[in-house]
Amino acid sequence: MHYAIGDVHGCYQAMKKLIGKIEREDADAQFILIGDVIDRGGETPEVLEWCMKNVTRDGKYQMLMGNHELMFMEWCSREWFPYCEGKKKSYEHAHYHADEDLKKAGLLTGQSVEKIFSFFRSLPIVKEKTVISPDGRQRIVLAHAWAKKEEMEEIRSGNRRPKEYFKTFLLDRAGQERDAAYDPEGKEILIHGHTPTTGVDVYENGGVPGRIVYRKHAVNIDCGLSHGSADYDVPANLAAICLENLKEYYAYSLEECYANMHFGDAEAVKRAVSAYKQKYHFSRPDLMRIDLIRQINGA
């Protein structure tokens, strides 16, 4: 089966833990990293080295470009390459100081940065998968950020190239409102990241903060692990979702999340988890998720 993984943002240990959890259940699993694997977290070099070693276009581990990969390439073109060519005497730091992370790991060299740049440049900004369930077939669109159905149609028709819509596919934060719909006709489902679900406004729009959020024919899987929490009682996580059945996976349990947030001893963590579940109606059925599962099953 196919599994999409949300924004990793330099959290190597969490990424490996999540992949391992899924592979123990499904040895033949295929993965699509939704983009933004670098910055914020403290393990960007480790994530980069793993991705450059394992990611291929259509293999077991796949990846989309995110806006942070784009920003790094822009920094290379604007600062690093001119510096290496002697056209600049110094260079400004990259966004979130990715260059300093690479320097500490011994990877801030002309050759290493050129390889990273080439790897990022090779990444697609959108993918499509047709998944088969016992009762139906479903087209899934994967992009880093919120995509527009009409732009996907332009790409399919050959009238536009994907890179012409990079501002949408890499940067758009639409789709946060409860009534947001990627495909009003209900023929496709969009899986995306980019906007962390850790804000308490997620609850006001029908979701559970820090968890995967569902909209009409769209799913946001960026659970904001590297951002921490917008509100102290909301646990951030790294999430994945199975495209065939929308089963959710998280790198950390709620107990692990609160322990990592230094809530205190085991009893304090237990109380925090209980309060979180109660406050955000954790066990409440997600009707939009139920509708999407029916859609995948051809109902």
Tens digit of pLDDT for each residue in 148-182?
A: 888 888 888 887 877 777 778 898 887 667 667 78
Q: What one-letter code names the amino acid at 113?
A: V
Which tokens go with 38?
């670098």
pTM of the model: 0.93
Using CA atoms, how far apart are residues 210 and 221, in angstroms rounded to an integer? Answer: 10
Q: Which of 126, 131, 127, 146 is nearest to 243 (CA)?
A: 131
Using CA atoms, how far apart are residues 193 and 215, in angstroms rounded to an integer? Answer: 13
Using CA atoms, how far apart are residues 174 and 183, in angstroms rounded to an integer? Answer: 13
The residues spanned by each domain of the chain are 126-296
Tens digit of pLDDT for each residue in 238-296?
A: 999 999 999 999 999 999 998 888 767 889 899 989 999 999 888 888 888 998 998 88
